[in-house]
Amino acid sequence: MDLQDLLPTDIDWWQLLLALLVALATWIISRFARRGTTALLRRAPGISAAVGTAITQFVAYAILLLGFGIALAMLGANVQPLLAIVVILGIVAILVLRGVADNFAAGVLLQARQTVRIGDEIVVEALDSVIAGTVTELNARAVILRTVDGRTLHIPNARLLSDPVVNDSTHGARRSEVEVRVRRDGTTRIDDLLAPLVDAARTAEGVHRHEGVRALVSA
pTM of the model: 0.51
User: With pLDDT > 70 as the criterion, what percentage of the chain qualifies?
Assistant: 82
**Interval 109-142: pLDDT, tens:** 787 778 888 899 999 988 778 889 999 988 878 8
Backbone conformation region of residue 150, classed left if phi is above 0, alpha if psi is from -120 to 50, else beta: left
**Of the ranges 79-88, 115-124, 141-150, 151-160, which one carries the lowest mean pLDDT score?**
79-88
What is the 3-state composition of the chain as percent helix, strand, coil, each rounded to the nearest 5? 50, 15, 35
**Mind giving me the DSSP string for 168-204?**
TTSSS-------------TTS-HHHHHHHHHHHHHTS
**Interval 176-214: pLDDT, tens:** 888 888 888 878 888 888 888 888 888 888 788 777 888
Query: What 8-state DSSP symbol labels residue 126?
Result: E
Residue 145 CB neighbours (<10 A): 26
